[in-house]
């Protein structure tokens, strides 16, 4: 099979948080953000201010792309990150990370699933890989609601595979006729679907994945990890101006405790995709 891959330069909403082992002391909490455009990190500034109030100095560090973000964590260059379930679950399978917390969105959600989008009138998604045969398929790489879901469906013969830098970009490319089908995050589709009256959901994954979990290195000092978890878990019931600014800017209620048990569906999906301890973050 011959696949031609096309990339779209649109910002990916992945946030990496780097924690030194002595984060509770004098060391900084370094937050690395992947951003395609200057200013993408601005909405996280209130989180830096909140950590500062809690006695943790913090600063931003940028990551050039999703692949580099995964490599940085796997190589131990960074010690923690807020991540989509695909990367988070992979890090846990590789026994490099443990999950701590994930954001509780303003709408009360903290999980998501994959949906299959196509032009109105297209056949319904059967749940079988053959659906993608002879189609131009677009999705976000290394995403549970994207590339991982595509591979979990099994072997297929798409006419073309295109990789978008975000779920929004995948939907937009589909709308412009550059693809025949898109696999995206249901939360993104629900938010954007009114903008695309010519598109519709033709199928969906029935399982849920934890959204933007904070995972930390297995090598991190447990007291340091617990300190960060306690700060974030305390955000929900904190009515101070600093806490309110974080919740408003990130559009969240706070954070909820997250364990490996929350990744049950994600692990099944990743393993069907071929993810093992040796997975190199690319297909």
**Pairing state of beta strands 181-185 and 58-63?**
unpaired
Alpha helices in 182-263 (DSSP H): 186-192, 222-233, 241-250
Q: Which residue has the higher pLDDT, 112 or 33?
A: 112
Q: What is the pTM of this model?
A: 0.87
**How is 203-225 classified by DSSP, letter by letter?**
EE-SS-EE-SEEEEETTS-HHHH
Q: What sign does the CA torsion over 191, 193, 194, 196 have?
A: positive
pLDDT tens digits, one per residue of 161-194: 999 988 999 999 999 999 999 999 999 999 999 9
Q: In the numeric block, which tokens belong to residue 80?
A: 């923690």
- Number of residues written out for the chain: 283
Residue 223 has pLDDT above 90, yes or no: no
Q: Where in the chain is the domain with CATH 3.40.190.10?
A: 12-105+210-273, 114-204
**Domain covering 114-204 in this structure, CATH number:** 3.40.190.10
Q: Would you state the pLDDT for residue 88?
A: 92
Whole-angstrom CA distances from 32 to 29, 96, 112, 121, 208 are 10, 18, 24, 42, 27
Contact indicator for 168, 192 with CB cutoff of 8 Å: yes
CATH 3.40.190.10 correct for 12-105+210-273: yes
Cα 114 to its chain centre, rounded Å, is 12
Residue 99 has pLDDT above 90, yes or no: yes
Q: What sign does the CA torsion over 188, 192, 196, 197 have?
A: positive
Contact indicator for 240, 120 with CB cutoff of 8 Å: no
pLDDT tens digits, one per residue of 143-166: 999 999 999 999 999 999 999 988
Confidence of residue 38 (pLDDT cuts 50, 70, 90): low
Residue 279 CB partners (closer than 8 Å, separation 6+): 90, 93, 94
Q: Would you state the pLDDT for residue 263?
A: 98
Distance from C-alpha of 34 to C-alpha of 104, rounded to nearest angstrom:
21
Tokens 């319904």 belong to which residue? 124
Confidence of residue 7 (pLDDT cuts 50, 70, 90): very low
Distance from C-alpha of 65 to C-alpha of 274, rounded to nearest angstrom:
22
Residue 75 CB partners (closer than 8 Å, separation 6+): none
**CB 278: neighbour CB atoms within 10 A?**
6
Q: Would you state the pLDDT for residue 152?
A: 98
């Amino acid at each position: 099979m011959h696949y031609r891959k096309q990339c779209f330069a649109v910002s990916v909403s992945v946030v990496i948080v780097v924690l030194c082992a002595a984060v509770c002391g004098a060391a900084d909490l370094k937050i690395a953000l992947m951003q395609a455009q200057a200013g993408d990190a601005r909405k996280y500034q209130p989180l830096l201010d909140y950590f500062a109030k809690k006695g943790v100095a913090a600063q931003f560090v940028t990551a050039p792309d999703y692949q580099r973000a995964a490599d940085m964590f796997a190589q131990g260059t960074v010690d923690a990150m807020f991540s989509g379930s695909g990367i988070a679950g992979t890090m846990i399978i590789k026994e490099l990370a443990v999950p701590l917390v994930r954001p509780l969105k303003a709408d009360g959600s903290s999980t998501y699933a994959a949906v299959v989008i196509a032009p109105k009138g297209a056949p319904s998604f059967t749940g079988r890989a053959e659906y993608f045969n002879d189609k131009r398929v677009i999705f976000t790489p290394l995403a549970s609601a994207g590339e991982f879901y595509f591979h979990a469906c099994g072997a297929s013969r798409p006419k073309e595979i295109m990789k978008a830098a975000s779920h929004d970009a995948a939907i937009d490319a589909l709308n412009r006729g550059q693809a025949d089908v898109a696999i995206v995050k249901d939360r993104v589709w629900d938010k954007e679907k009114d903008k695309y009256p010519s598109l519709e959901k033709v199928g969906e994954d029935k399982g849920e994945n934890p959204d933007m979990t904070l995972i930390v290195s297995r090598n991190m000092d447990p007291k340091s990890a617990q300190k960060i978890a306690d700060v974030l878990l305390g955000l929900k019931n904190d009515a101070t101006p600093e806490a309110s600014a974080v919740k408003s800017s990130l559009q969240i209620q706070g954070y909820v405790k997250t364990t490996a048990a929350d990744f049950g569906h994600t692990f099944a999906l990743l393993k069907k995709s071929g993810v093992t301890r040796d997975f190199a973050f690319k297909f």
